[in-house]
Amino acid sequence: MYLNPFTFHQPTTISEAARLLANSPHSKLVAGGSFLINNLKQLKRRGMKTPGHIISLKNIIELKGIAVDHQKLVIPSMTTIREILECPSLDDNFRILKNAAKNIATTPIRNTATIGGNLTCRYTWTEMPAVMIALEADFHFIGADNHEHTLSAENFFKNGAKTDKILSHITILRDKNAALVYARVRRSGYVDIPLLSVCLKTAFEKNSLTKTCLAINNSVEFAQRDTKLENFLNQRPIFQELPQEALDHLHEAIYNTRADDYKKYIFRVTLKNALAELIQKKPGILK
């Protein structure tokens, strides 16, 4: 199928791209194109208006190249899922990004799909949002005024993941003491997109969990924290039955988005297993 005609822009700087975005009526950014091209086809098929201007981020060098040091990780938005998966310097709390990346789609899609596209596409089921919330990441945006606007991942998704700016990069602070787990429930064996993804971060203090951050993506709403469960877990002494007992302290509305009882059950089993895996990370505990 031929796409409707549009003007294709290939800016080489973020400020040029931001200006084009603000000044071209009915324009759209394209990063890897793994969603956008299909979206354009769907709009055409339905007889709906398609953007007159497509602004590619591909030639903007500032949007590429992961940087990591002893304090923080900087992931520019044009970093592909494959680059995250293969980055040799993701250690400590940053390593969890690889666990999530390895589940995403297939090799050809991971080669083109970008982290920026995954976070800003507004599909509620993509997996990186829960990981970014659990890692307490900050998102940095550039608007037409060329100023940087920073928003926490949690607030970005709380506000419906809407932006009229360019996501330029993501920053995450290094945390050597954090223990993290990532888990997901597959939709089916064929279409490998998740029904649920969960990322848990905690720090062990003596025999308790502290500063627990539990981000859930039920694929119906944008990723969010289950603060009710976090409150239950924080300062809780670790004991064998903790993962089971935790299931009595869920913010139920987050997990009950499916009419199917089996899916509701699987969500709880996944969460329980993720919690069990998390507490196993404390050396010498429950082994």
Q: Looking at 104, 215, 229, 271, which residue binds ligand FAD (CB under 6 A)?
A: 104
Closest to ligand FAD by CB, 77 vs 93, is 77
| Closest C-alpha among 45, 48, 47, 56 to residue 10 | 56
In 3D, which of 74, 75, 2, 9 has the Cα closest to residue 41? 2
Q: Does residue 138 belong to the site contacting ligand FAD (CB under 6 A)?
A: no
CA-to-CA distance for 243 and 120, rounded, in angstroms? 33
Does 212 participate in binding ligand FAD (rule CB under 6 A)?
no
Binding track over 1-40 against ligand FAD, x by CB under 6 A? ---------------------------xxxxxxxxx----
Residues 226-255 that bind ligand FAD (CB under 6 A): none
DSSP state of 237: B
Comparing CB distances to ligand FAD, the nearer of 123 and 280 is 123
Question: How many C-beta atoms surround the C-beta of residue 199 within 10 A?
Answer: 29
Shortest spacing between CB 275 and ligand FAD, in angstroms: 22
| Least CB distance to ligand FAD at residue 170 (A) | 10
In this structure, which amino acid lies at residue 91?
Answer: D
**117 exposed, middle or buried (CB, 10 Å; 0-12, 13-18, 19+)?**
buried
Binding of ligand FAD by 224 (CB under 6 A): no
Q: Is 54 in the site for ligand FAD (CB under 6 A)?
A: no
User: Which position's Cβ is nearest ligand FAD?
Assistant: 117
Tokens for 181, please give them.
Answer: 């787990």
